[in-house]
Structure 1
Amino acid sequence: MTQESTDQMMAEGVHRYSAEKNWVEPSESQLIERLEWFKDQKLALMMHWGPYSQLGVVESWALSDEDAEWSREGIDWEANSQELKRQYMDLNRTFNPIRFQPHVWADIAKKAGFKYVIFTTKHHDGFSMWDTRETDYRITADDCPFHTHKYADICKHVFQAFRKNGLGIAAYYSKADWHTPYYWAPGMEQGSKSWRGPTYNPKEYPWLWDKYVQFNHNQIMELMTKYGDIDILWLDAGWVGHENQDIRLDEVIEKARKIQPWLLTADRMMGGKFENYITPEQTIPDNPIHVPWESCITMGTSFSFKYEDTYKSTKEIIYTLIEVVAKGGNLALNVAPQPDGRLPKGAIKRMEELGEWLDIHGEAIYGTRMCDPYYTREFAFTKKGETTYCFWLDKHEDNGHEKEIILPYNKHVQRIEHLGRASQLDFVQNDKGIVIKLPIKKDSIVDVFRLT
């Protein structure tokens, strides 16, 4: 795959997403059932964390010369590309998050209403956050000061803590690895600049590419065999797998599913049988998508930790969740841990407020499915069995007076209740929809109605 073709797939590190028409329904009944489980969850906590967090810079991308223009801002990196890469790769020697408490993360996530976690076991830079035997570039290696800590095998303790709290586990794994010599092979650079792909043509060096394929298989199988039940294998670096970068994913997924037959795979941008759901990034599709999907969106401005980051308001996060769910998807809300191992206080506050809202309104989110007319900017709809939920996304300030609203819903309704309040509402149905008069002050974030 060429640099030009990867640019068509992503821009500034952000993936585009597969077309709905390219989705392939699994043939295995167990996977079909697991996709229904997936669609019930609605809200994931995504976490990008690694040595790069110390600098507050974007994860991995500064290593790619082709991506230098947008990824190297904020640091006076060395002009020499090889020296820059050495500086970046040496960040493992100072990564020591001694305030990491996985059970605290899990408790916060559960109270906030998250149902599964997507944790970066390894990003493109190749630093492994588990005790892998395939590379010394890992959290448990002797040259990483955190290796003596009781939580040194970070993935192990994250997965255990979240699993104990009843949350599902998605293991994020990058198919690209810019540290291993099997992908970026020293002395084999094609041209003067590094890019996202391998430094050599796999067709010309099949023996070297085979080593890279085996490296990926071995790492994936470590995660599948030594780290408990994994619900989702979340595969990033969508350019790997196209054209001459075949890592023979079918072989390793077959092995993995012999051990964990329920395993869903999100092989991003690949289409076909291993992209069990579609993954928009930093965007919400304009229209409903009628196959499983999940949009990964940052709470702040970056997937990785950024000093003095600006977080979205709680209202914006809730409105984002409502729109995603109304269009048939799940929201993977990314919260980046600090380099010391704690979650930022600003992020925790947003999570607590999100949890408080979901405690009251969660029945209109979890376990629901799409409902026509889906999302109209002013209203959003979901359904669960014979019950329909309507979200009134009123952007205007409430003046405290009685307000008449018309829900654009034409199916017959017998009863309407204001969710979270002991109030049954009077209404009239006509050819325009359902007319409701609200003699009450609008909720601070959004009003939700239960229609039966």
Structure 2
Amino acid sequence: MKKKKAALLIALVMSTCTAIAQQKTPKAVMDQFMDKRFGMFIHFGPVTQRGTEIGWSRNDQVAQADYDSLYHEFNPRLFNADVWVKTAKDAGMKYLVITAKHHDGFCLWPTAYSDYNVANSPFKRDIVGELAEACKKQDVTFCIYFTVLDWHDPDYPIHNPHDTTQSKGLGGNMTAFKTRMKNELREVITKYKPFMLWFDGYWEKPWTTADGKEIYQFIKSVDANVIVNNRLGKVNDKLDGDAVGDFLTPEQTIGKLNMNEPWESCITICNQWAWKPNDPMKSLKQCLQTLVTSASGNGNLLFNVGPAMDGHIEGRQVKRLQEMGAWLKLYGESIYGTQGGPYVPNETYGATRKGNKVYLHIFQRKDGTLSIPALANVKITKAYFMNGGAVIIKTDKDNYKIELPATLPDENCSVIVLELNKDAVNIPVIPVKA
């Protein structure tokens, strides 16, 4: 009898441990994240003194010894967390992600587990901590970027991503590396309370799917509600099978319409992720239509800026973000808290929906009439430009014919509201005709 009780107890403990290990982020938390739709990505570190790409320019444009010594001169005196966060808020961004630790291994917080951190630079201040506090004050959701590879860490087997011969005879100590990683993650989760952890660096041979699952389980043991992107594991285009994480992350491209899996596109406002002098910047039209197309595809946009070496965000980038914020003040209802569809976005328009409304985002006026597929078993009770006058809609066979004015209300993206006699969210996505 005692043996049976002991066996039952062991089975119960194992079952409980398995349940904890398999714990996923609650749907309510994921819905809260996806409702935000627009966030700021920030790539920043000592490499800004060279104007080259963070991490990737090590052993390439910048010699390793030089790159690894840049922190001795790192002193961004113009860094002001409140200004950075206000810039994001004025742009209409609802969350912020800072590169607390990129692939070069430098930590923007005073970690107890590595000397290669901001406390040992001339600047000394806790950049991650100051941003977390500023986000809290200004009601912007704080998130952290963290690498799963570290070319600076002696326990990580690869130290030069540009040397392809390192794939042979890998050394290092991945157990020690993961232990340090867990300690640093526990540190940032408990100290800064990030809403989401954004990982990258999954592609190199030493990092395995099993490693990703182990770290995901560890994160959930520290805070079950922390959202994790899908780059913690090896699979990067689906959330099924061996995928690790809670949402998909297409990079420098806008994700496709996906009503089943949450996703977020990460895209730069210029070309380079980290600051680069005279880096070409996207037009306001490009920026707005990138945001709208992301929302129309049922995804978020994480829009990147790279602050300059002295810690300020370039005035031209701030101005562009303010212009986006001005548009969102007028049309934000059609972005925040919406779902994509029922129309698949294209070069002419995109669509979002909420309640009994479909929001048609008009990117360009090709002629006087916009033709879109009619919604089956649905009646349009009212149609009008958001913040404007009524719109005339005629039905021709299987299509709506929407008469457009000679000049659209907004040259970058105008919004037509279709009020329906039923819940728009329940309308099936209309497939694109071949």
Report the TM range for the smaller structure's normalisation: 0.7 to 0.9
Using the TM superposition, give the Cα deviation of residue 300 of structure 1 relative to its aligned residue in structure 2, in angstroms: 0.1
Task: Choose 374-383 or 352-361, whichever is displaced more.
Answer: 374-383
Are the aligned partners of 1:413 and 1:451 in contact in 2 as well (CA < 8 Å)? yes
Partner residue in 1 for 2:94: 115
Aligned-partner Cα distance in 1 for 2:342–2:136: 35
Give the SS at the match of 1:281.
coil
Selected match of 1:274 from 234, 244, 255: 244
Partner residue in 2 for 1:201: 170
The residue type equivalent to 2:348 in the other structure is E
Partner residue in 2 for 1:315: 285
Task: Choose 291-300 or 371-380, whichever is displaced more.
Answer: 371-380
Are the aligned partners of 2:186 and 2:222 in contact in 1 as well (CA < 8 Å)? no
Partner residue in 2 for 1:10: none
Using the TM superposition, give the Cα deviation of residue 430 of structure 1 relative to its aligned residue in structure 2, in angstroms: 2.9
Aligned-partner Cα distance in 2 for 1:37–1:426: 35
Task: Choose 28-37 or 216-225, whichever is displaced more.
Answer: 28-37
Aligned-partner Cα distance in 2 for 1:358–1:436: 24
Are the aligned partners of 1:54 and 1:339 in contact in 2 as well (CA < 8 Å)? yes
Selected match of 1:146 from 97, 102, 123: 123
CA gap of 1:231–1:378, structure 2 versus 1, over 3 A, is same
Are the aligned partners of 2:208 and 2:234 in contact in 1 as well (CA < 8 Å)? no
Using the TM superposition, give the Cα deviation of residue 211 of structure 1 relative to its aligned residue in structure 2, in angstroms: 1.1
Aligned-partner Cα distance in 2 for 1:210–1:138: 22
Using the TM superposition, give the Cα deviation of residue 309 of structure 1 relative to its aligned residue in structure 2, in angstroms: 1.2
Partner residue in 1 for 2:429: none
Are the aligned partners of 1:31 and 1:263 in contact in 2 as well (CA < 8 Å)? no
CA gap of 1:121–1:342, structure 2 versus 1, over 3 A, is same
Aligned-partner Cα distance in 2 for 1:261–1:217: 15
Partner residue in 2 for 1:5: none
Aligned length: 389
Selected match of 1:42 from 37, 42, 60: 37
Aligned-partner Cα distance in 2 for 1:251–1:436: 53
Partner residue in 1 for 2:228: 265
Partner residue in 1 for 2:387: 420
Using the TM superposition, give the Cα deviation of residue 123 of structure 1 relative to its aligned residue in structure 2, in angstroms: 0.6
CA gap of 1:415–1:346, structure 2 versus 1, over 3 A, is same
CA gap of 1:372–1:326, structure 2 versus 1, over 3 A, is same
The residue type equivalent to 1:428 in the other structure is K
Using the TM superposition, give the Cα deviation of residue 238 of structure 1 relative to its aligned residue in structure 2, in angstroms: 1.4
Matching of residue 32 in structure 1 with residue 1 in structure 2: no
Aligned-partner Cα distance in 1 for 2:166–2:98: 23
Partner residue in 1 for 2:177: 212
Are the aligned partners of 1:213 and 1:247 in contact in 2 as well (CA < 8 Å)? no
CA gap of 1:196–1:407, structure 2 versus 1, over 3 A, is farther
Provide the TM-score with structure 1 as the length reference: 0.80
Using the TM superposition, give the Cα deviation of residue 230 of structure 1 relative to its aligned residue in structure 2, in angstroms: 1.2
Selected match of 1:445 from 412, 416, 421: 412
Partner residue in 2 for 1:164: 137
Selected match of 1:52 from 42, 47, 50: 47
Which runs of 5 or more structure 1 residues have no equivalent in the other structure? 1-25, 78-83
Give runs of aligned pairs for residues 44-443 of structure 1, distance below 5 A: 44-64=39-59, 68=60, 72=61, 84-141=63-120, 144-147=121-124, 152-184=125-157, 194=163, 201=170, 208-227=173-192, 229-239=193-203, 245=208, 248-268=211-231, 270-271=234-235, 272=242, 274-285=244-255, 288=258, 290-394=260-364, 403-410=368-375, 411-421=378-388, 423-439=389-405, 441-442=407-408, 443=410
Give the SS at the match of 1:441.
coil
The residue type equivalent to 2:372 in the other structure is L
Aligned-partner Cα distance in 1 for 2:84–2:411: 28
Aligned-partner Cα distance in 2 for 1:200–1:224: 35
CA gap of 1:193–1:364, structure 2 versus 1, over 3 A, is closer
Partner residue in 2 for 1:81: none
RMSD value, Cα? 2.6
The residue type equivalent to 2:414 in the other structure is D
Are the aligned partners of 2:339 and 2:354 in contact in 1 as well (CA < 8 Å)? yes
Give the SS at the match of 2:298.
coil
Aligned-partner Cα distance in 2 for 1:306–1:384: 40
Using the TM superposition, give the Cα deviation of residue 165 of structure 1 relative to its aligned residue in structure 2, in angstroms: 1.5
Give the SS at the match of 1:373.
coil
Are the aligned partners of 1:185 and 1:200 in contact in 2 as well (CA < 8 Å)? no
Are the aligned partners of 2:257 and 2:298 in contact in 1 as well (CA < 8 Å)? no
The residue type equivalent to 1:263 in the other structure is V
